[in-house]
Amino acid sequence: GTKLEILNDEFKLVHQYNPIEHIESRLKTDESITRKLIRKGKEITVENIQKYIDDIAGVRVICSFTPDIYRIVDMISSQDDIEVLKTKDYMLNPKVNGYRSYHLIVRVPIFLSDRVVPTKVEIQIRTVAQDFWATLQHKMHYKFEGDGPDYITKELRECARYVAELDTRMEELNNEIQKYGKLSDKK
């Protein structure tokens, strides 16, 4: 999270624009780690946690516009101390339910008092509109234990389509606003 905030501040300084609206982070609970290992059929050991759990720590990066997502992916990928292990581009390939986001599993060094521990972290990058949609979808998923009523599932899928359309329209409007600003600078 701190690294992303620094990158965002630097980007704002260099380009007079900050691609990140806000950053959220979380640590997976012991119970959640245990459930995930059991679901994967693995014994509950520290070694298995390190080997099979990619999202002990998670960071969610919220942007205004879709191109910002790819800018941030590039910024993260170019860092010497971050190793990108996996990527999932749900922007280009949305899930069946309409979910859009960009996921990275990275390994970062965590500095302890006596050693450095390489740790896997999941980074999810999405727009404000996608985050709004995903929050509601997440609530439904847990409320109905993954099996929500068909009419709600259908409505959420339709809303995902609206969100994608909204993101495109907002990006186009922003591009027009930026052009206008550049034209008025020349006057």
Q: Which of 122, 155, 158, 165 is catalytic?
A: 122
Rounded distance between C-alpha atoms, residue 153 and residue 143, angstroms: 13
Instruction: Answer whether 65's CB lies under 8 Å from 90's CB.
Output: no
Q: Which uninterrupted H or E stretch holds 138?
A: helix 128-143
Task: Tell me whether residue 165 is one of the annotated catalytic residues.
Answer: no
Q: What are phi and psi of 93, to 5 degrees?
A: -130, 75
Q: What are phi and psi of 78, to 5 degrees?
A: -90, 0
Residues with a catalytic annotation lie at: 122
